[in-house]
Amino acid sequence: MDLISTPYKLGEKAKHIAKLQTLENATIINIQLKKGETIAEHDSSKDVVIVVRRGSVIFDVEGTETVVEQDNILYMQPFEKHSLLAKEDTDLLVFQILP
């Protein structure tokens, strides 16, 4: 068992990105963004699952914008190009999983 701490950092600084855990077949990342902050377009060679813990973020995935909030989960296939825009202060988890 491993209990992983994910402290809220936006009170201390803007844009916080931290790799929380690397497993044999997955990586878990915490991203915290202030309202209006962005992450430029990129992709991943892995399956990606996004879980928003706080706030609201717009994902542009291959030209289609989707709002991701606490009541939904976003799944992206490997190599889907995507970018992020925080609609409000946002705290999310990224699960990168080997296909």
Task: Report in angstroms the alpha-carbon separations of 13 from 16, 29, 32, 79, 91.
Answer: 7, 17, 10, 30, 13
Mean pLDDT, range 72-79, rounded to an integer: 98
Dump pLDDT digits (tens) for 9-68: 988 778 999 999 999 999 999 999 999 999 999 999 999 999 999 999 999 999 999 999
Q: What's the pLDDT score for residue 11?
A: 81
Give the right CATH number for 16-97 from 2.60.40.420, 3.30.830.10, 2.60.120.10, 1.10.8.100: 2.60.120.10
Q: Are 55 and 91 in contact (CB under 8 A)?
A: yes
For 57, the token pair is 């973020």
Query: Which candidate, 99, 97, 83, 96, places its Cα nearest to that of 41?
Result: 83
Confidence of residue 1 (pLDDT cuts 50, 70, 90): very high
Q: What's the pLDDT score for residue 94?
A: 99
Q: Are 58 and 84 in contact (CB under 8 A)?
A: yes
Alpha carbon distance 69, 53 (integer Å):
8
Q: Where are the domains of the chain?
A: 16-97
Q: What's the pLDDT score for residue 38?
A: 97
Which pTM does this prediction carry?
Answer: 0.93
